Structure 1
Amino acid sequence: MPQTSRADARKNRDLLLAAAREAVAEHGTDASLRDIARRAGVGIGTLYRHFPTRETLLEALLNANFDALRARADSLLTAPAPGDALMTWLGELAAGSATYQGLPESIMNALADEGSGLHASCAQMRVAGGWLLERAQQAGSVRPDVTVSEVIALVLGLAWAAERSVEPSDLAARLLSTAMYGLADRGPVM
């Protein structure tokens, strides 16, 4: 491929991602792909050449967020209070899930669908969260009978509820605090 073609392709990809950020911020993860192409000043065919599915476009938008969450989980693995480290990470997951309307549902769907373009990124994020959960369970901070999939589903459900609520903007944090109280290890589970 000639140098100018590659430069044009990179430019179009960057334009599409910038337009997608705007459109998804305004309309959520179901934003019109035609609108994204129009905003970028390219045809719909160009959008599909770069991003064959909505999921691949979302993955490109969210990859940096997921990478940051994975890195954050790694950095929290050495925190002195494993339960607090897990709570911090889950709070950041909830906040990140609120970036775009519909994102919590998209993440849950991607985790369940190995064919999804978002699956690999979401699965890696789940693994990183699993390390934090396991450490908190070993420290006795979190019940031993919960899985990382259950905890992530809980947090994404809370983020989903908060995004649809007319309650104060700190609702997600308050719901997460309540959920963490329920996850605390208080001895045998009934």
Structure 2
Amino acid sequence: MTGQRSDARRNYRRILIVAEAEVAAHGADASLEQIARTAGVGSATVRRHFPTRQALLEAVFQERIENLCERAHRLTGTGDSRAALLDWLHALVEYAVSARGLADALAYEPPTDEPAPHSCGNALEEAATPLLRQAIRDGAVRPDVTFHDLLTLSVGIALATEHHVRPMAQADRLFRLSVEGLSPAQGATPT
């Protein structure tokens, strides 16, 4: 944003504030035209600042993504690598459930050889891959599990529970089920 005229910076901030509210209300499919109208700018101004819907969504979720990345960095190298990875994955699921549209934004990012440098998925992958690698080295996670497997699982849980009466409770249940598996624990009685 440096080097831009002050009115361009104001427009950017206003568009982003409106976009955050619209995405919270309508998810990733929030109307770009409605965002422009509410922000008091033209559609061309929105597209100049955010050339794609994905660019707008990444800007809306930037702070949440940064928080998840910081959490991954804090957890890397802690004692129990499985617990650290699961803690981070659970936080990802919680963020994706609580921030309407985040799961959609992450779902738009299939694995590629050349990810966009500022993409949400790329930032998360860079931050969380050390957690996954350590868990694999410790034998706590199968060696064929990839970051994209974990991202797909997390996004899938968030999308599947988005319209549930109690989305966070259902997401927690599905997360535990995916981690613990379908088989009952030794000596546990089915409920």
Q: TM-score range by the shorter chain?
A: 0.7 to 0.9
Aligned-partner SS, 1:141: coil
Aligned-partner SS, 2:29: coil
Return the letter of the residue paired with 2:69.
R
Percent sequence identity over aligned pairs: 37
Aligned-partner SS, 1:11: helix
Aligned-partner SS, 1:10: helix
Q: Which residues of structure 1 form unaligned runs of 5+?
A: 183-190
In the superposition, relative to structure 1, how do residues 135 and 66 fare at CA in structure 2: closer, same or farther (>3 Å)?
same
Rounded to whole Å, the distance in 1 between the matches of 2:58 and 2:76 is 26
TM-score, normalised by the number of residues in structure 1: 0.83
Rounded to whole Å, the distance in 1 between the matches of 2:10 and 2:106 is 28
Is residue 23–residue 31 contact of structure 1 (8 Å, CA) maintained in 2? yes
Deviation at 1:69, TM superposition (A): 1.4
1:52 counterpart residue number: 51
1:99-157 CA deviation, whole Å, 9 max, x = no partner? 44343233122234678868733123123222111111222222223222112111111
Rounded to whole Å, the distance in 1 between the matches of 2:32 and 2:167 is 32
Rounded to whole Å, the distance in 2 between the matches of 1:115 and 1:25 is 29
TM-score, normalised by the number of residues in structure 2: 0.83
Is residue 105–residue 160 contact of structure 1 (8 Å, CA) maintained in 2? yes
Return the letter of the residue paired with 1:82.
S
In the superposition, relative to structure 1, how do residues 121 and 101 fare at CA in structure 2: closer, same or farther (>3 Å)?
closer
2:179 counterpart residue number: 180
**Map of 1:73-88 to 2, 5 A cutoff?**
73-88=72-87
2:27 counterpart residue number: 28
Q: Which residues of structure 2 form unaligned runs of 5+?
A: 182-191
1:98 counterpart residue number: 97
In the superposition, relative to structure 1, how do residues 114 and 18 fare at CA in structure 2: closer, same or farther (>3 Å)?
farther
Deviation at 1:22, TM superposition (A): 0.5
Rounded to whole Å, the distance in 1 between the matches of 2:167 and 2:121 is 28
Aligned-partner SS, 1:79: coil
Q: Which of structure 1's runs of 4+ aligned residues deviate more than 4 A? A: 113-119
In the superposition, relative to structure 1, how do residues 145 and 52 fare at CA in structure 2: closer, same or farther (>3 Å)?
closer
Aligned residues: 179
**Map of 1:12-23 to 2, 5 A cutoff?**
12-23=11-22
**Map of 1:1-12 to 2, 5 A cutoff?**
6-12=5-11
Aligned-partner SS, 1:111: coil
